[in-house]
Amino acid sequence: MGYILPGTPHPDRLCMRFAVFALFAALPALSAADVAERPLYFAVELLPSDFRSTVTSDNGSFNGHDSALNVGVAAGLRWSFAPVGWSHGPVVGVEAAVESATFDNGGHQVAELRGLAGWAVAVDRRWVVQLSLRGGYGLSRLQLGVEGGSDVDEGGRGWSLEPNVEVLWAFSERGRLSLGGGWRTSHYTYAGNGLDINLVNDGPTIRIGIEWQLSVAPKRLR
């Protein structure tokens, strides 16, 4: 049994300290996914087809239901607050969107400004999963043919809310494709010609997009 001078660390403790130091020294060299991002994006949306309406006039209140092909496009900017090197973190964004639904006897058009907030997780260097809540406020136009020869052609305003999930795949250092889906609810109101109309549109959504990174996270030192 060897003799250890007073004040000298025990060999076991020296080994432990060396192992901890080696681990932290090796961390910068480890390949890791990075969620840092600031992309511009453009997306095509397949929006809910179910429309429910409540029409109020001097003759009373009437409820209606209709289905329509409802599509839209959106363009925006998103950015992450995750520190460089982190594989997950908060994201926020802003986007402008337009949408159009076509009924048998008319149509519904919307122009919205939306904000989003959520959380992104980089699975690896190419794949990212993002959960977010998207909300918007906009102006709209409702056009309907009414029996008796008169028409409804009114401007309105309203809001939308959509929780969704998106999967993003990087096909280059700056370019990515996205595929997502969610559940969207929108409420728009109209008033004119003695009618008050409340139009509700809700249901599942599908979203396909392309993104371009404005900046790329600096590479890790090796």
Q: What is the CATH number of the domain that holds 153?
A: 2.40.128.100
3-state secondary structure of 29: helix
In a domain, residue 24? The reply is no
Number of other residues whose CB lies within 10 A of the CB of residue 76: 21
Name the residue among 159, 151, 147 with its Cα closest to residue 192: 151
> What average pLDDT does the segment 66-76 reach?
95
> What average pLDDT does the segment 144-154 reach?
67
More confident of the two residues 69 and 2 = 69
pLDDT at 87: 86
Q: Give the lowest-confidence range in 36-50, 143-157, 176-190, 196-210.
A: 143-157
More confident of the two residues 162 and 28 = 162
CA–chain centroid gap for 140, Å, is 22
Is the pLDDT assigned to residue 143 strictly greater than 60? yes
Domain limits at 144?
Answer: 32-213
The model's pLDDT over 177-221, given as tens digits with 9 standing for 90+, comes to 999 999 999 999 998 878 899 999 999 999 999 999 986 555 444
Q: Give the total number of structural domains in the chain.
A: 1
In a domain, residue 3? The reply is no
User: What band does 14 get if pLDDT is binned at 50, 70 and 90?
Assistant: low
In a domain, residue 94? The reply is yes
pLDDT at 86: 81
Looking up tokens 């809700």, which residue turns up?
A: 202
How far is Cα 166 from Cα 60, in angstroms, rounded to an integer? 44
Is the pLDDT assigned to residue 119 strictly greater than 80? yes
pLDDT at 127: 93
In a domain, residue 17? The reply is no
In a domain, residue 22? The reply is no
In a domain, residue 97? The reply is yes
> What average pLDDT does the segment 115-133 reach?
93
In a domain, residue 160? The reply is yes
3-state secondary structure of 11: helix
How far is Cα 120 from Cα 82, in angstroms, rounded to an integer? 9
In a domain, residue 128? The reply is yes
